[in-house]
Amino acid sequence: MSRVLHVPFTGADREFDDIGQEMMAAIEKVFRSGQVMNGESVPRLEQSLAELSGRRHARVVNSGTDAVYFALVAAGIGPGDEVLLGDVSFVATLHAIVRTGATPVFVDVTDEGTIDLDLAEEAVGPRSKALVVVQLYGRMAAPDPVEKFARAHGLALVEDAAQSLGAEVNGRRSGTLGLASCHSFDAMKVIPAPGTGGVVLTDDPAVAESVEQLRHWGFADAEKRHVVRLGHNSQMSSLTAAVLAVKLAQEERWLKQRRATASTYSAGFGDLGCGLPEHGSLRENIFHKYVLRTPKRDELAAALRASGVETLVHYPYALHTLPFLERHPHRVVGDGRAKKHAAEVISLPIHPYLTDEEIAHVVTSTREALLAG
């Protein structure tokens, strides 16, 4: 009986085989410093992230969800306001908006899954105060039209760049759009934390100060003597920051490996008409996910599972269809492409530690499944 090759969706164990000694050394250094919280690794990581994005300020927090929420709060968003967003994203984007008390306004998406700015014109109303633009799957949307739209309508622009750390379009890095930008470091991201984490990036010192207060229980000073607002405990531990710094040093190498895998995939699927990601310059798409679109999604997922290939769906819902919204005010502009997107997308394994044999197996298995009927 022939062996079924197992192709994992993520490669955390292989990553540890590669750079585990460096990570453990960084962890030991933190423990020996006695500063497992608020140690020197935190501001060092913030400086590195600010430099990578080209922003003046970076504030790391406990999660990407908190990052988007804090950015919106810093922008003054609250009850009575409306926030525009595309109808395709991870639910965390929506959670952040709802947590502020604001009303989400779901705008249908383009064929690429990003917000349709033409429809967004119809969505703007007297209570519209912010736009959250989501950089989906590792590919950055063209910044100029988004920023122009936000300026024209007086909207605070928050970039949910959770999936696009390091991406770039026409010389603009992901993490530079609007009032504030947010990255995530959860276990599925290109630079994954040993758990979770996020960062708010901004050029506005008032936004940076607001996030500083929000992440530290509402304290207005480092000595934690004066509480000036309702805050949260959303700190990133020194241990997490130290490990992320080790991984951030691998970013260019890992990107090239992801890119090579994506190129092999696209060459193997190019004749099948299954909605391939576009390829441009090296950083135009960092391939946080490699996503195909096919009406035979469920059949493909079952066939790949039988072949030993792990897949996931990002995302199996249009945001406006989530049931908890029955208890929360919201508006929907356009209805169709987001639902179609949710019914057709499937994500293939793409991480820096896939072997040539595994990549070839994914290509062969995917081709066979899509051509089978």
* pLDDT band for position 373 (cuts 50, 70, 90): low
Q: Which residues of 198-221 are buried (b: 16+ CB within 10 A; e: fewer)?
A: bbbbbbeeebbebbbbbbbeebbe
The more confident residue out of 276 and 94 is: 94
User: Cα(135)–Cα(105) distance, rounded to whole angstroms?
Assistant: 18
3-class secondary structure per residue, 160-187: ECCCCCCCEECCEECCCCCCEEEEECCC
Mean pLDDT, rounded, for 5-12? 96
Residue 281 scores a pLDDT above 90: no
Which string of DSSP letters, residue by residue, matches 91-137? HHHHHHHHHHTPEEEEE-B-TTSSB-HHHHHHH--TTEEEEEEE--T
* pLDDT band for position 1 (cuts 50, 70, 90): very low
- Average of per-residue pLDDT values in the chain: 95
Per-residue model confidence (pLDDT) at position 284: 85
> How distant, in Å, are the alpha carbons of 89, 266, 281, 310 from that of 262?
21, 6, 13, 16
Q: Are 27 and 247 in contact (CB under 8 A)?
A: no
User: And the tokens for 196?
Assistant: 């979770």
User: Cα(208)–Cα(210) distance, rounded to whole angstroms?
Assistant: 5
User: Cα angle vertex 364, ends 362, 367, to 5°?
Assistant: 100
Per-residue model confidence (pLDDT) at position 223: 73
Per-residue model confidence (pLDDT) at position 59: 98
Per-residue model confidence (pLDDT) at position 141: 87
Taking each helix axis from N to C terminus, what angle separates 91-100 and 64-74, rounded to the nearest 10 degrees?
40
Query: From 2.70.150.10, 3.40.640.10, 3.40.630.30, 3.40.50.970, which CATH number describes the 13-248 domain?
Result: 3.40.640.10
Per-residue model confidence (pLDDT) at position 2: 55
The more confident residue out of 220 and 303 is: 303
Per-residue model confidence (pLDDT) at position 270: 86
Per-residue model confidence (pLDDT) at position 252: 95
Query: pLDDT tens across 126-179, in order?
Result: 999 999 999 999 999 889 999 999 999 999 999 999 999 999 998 899 999 999
Per-residue model confidence (pLDDT) at position 24: 98
Domain ranges, ordered by start, for the chain: 13-248, 250-371
Ordered strands of the 57-61 beta sheet = 57-61, 198-202, 180-184, 156-160, 128-134, 82-86, 103-107, 331-333
| CATH 3.30.390.30 is right for the domain spanning 250-371 | no
Mean pLDDT, rounded, for 345-359? 98
Alpha-carbon Rg for the chain, nearest whole angstrom, is: 21
Taking each helix axis from N to C terminus, what angle separates 297-306 and 356-371, rounded to the nearest 10 degrees?
130
Q: Are 288 and 138 in contact (CB under 8 A)?
A: yes
Sign of CA dihedral 205, 73, 78, 93: positive
What percent of the chain is predicted at pLDDT more than 90?
A: 90
Query: pLDDT tens across 264-274, in order?
Result: 999 999 899 89
Query: pLDDT tens across 32-60, in order?
Result: 999 999 899 999 999 999 999 999 999 99
Mean pLDDT, rounded, for 321-346? 95
